[in-house]
Chain A
Amino acid sequence: MTPEYKEVLTELLFQLADDDFIHAFRGSEWLGLAPHIEEDVAFSSINQDTMGHAVIYYKLLEDLGMGAADDLAHLRDASAFRNGVLLEFKNGSGEYLDSPQYDWAFTVVRHLFYDVYKKIKLEALKQSNYEPLANAARKILTEQTYHLMHWQTWFRQLMQSTEEARARMEQALLRCWEDMGGVLTYGQYGDEMTALGLIGSEEALKNTWLAEITKLFSEVDYKKPSDEPKMAHGNGRNGEHSADLDHALKILSEVYRSDSQASGW
Chain B
Amino acid sequence: MSQDQSTFYEEYEVFSRKKDGMPLEHRFSLLAPNAEMALILAKENFFRREPIADLWVVKRSNIRKMTQEERLAFGRLDKAYRETKGYADLVARWRAFKEKNGDQEVEIDDAGI
Contact = CB atoms under 8 A, between A and B. Distances in A.
Interface of A: 36-39, 41-42, 45-46, 146, 149-150, 153, 156-157, 162, 164-165
26 contacts: A36-B31, A37-B31, A38-B31, A38-B41, A38-B45, A39-B41, A41-B41, A41-B44, A42-B40, A42-B43, A42-B44, A45-B44, A45-B48, A146-B40, A146-B43, A149-B40, A150-B44, A153-B36, A153-B37, A153-B39, A153-B40, A156-B36, A157-B34, A162-B1, A164-B2, A165-B1
A38 B34 CA distance: 13
Given A150-B40, A153-B36, A153-B40, A38 B48 contact: no
B92 to A, nearest CB: 58
Contacts of A38: 30-32, 41, 45
Nearest to A147: B44
B2 to A, nearest CB: 6
Interface residues of B, number: 17
A44 to B, nearest CB: 9
B94 interface: no
B97 interface: no
A158 to B, nearest CB: 11
Given A36-B9, A162-B2, A42 B45 contact: yes
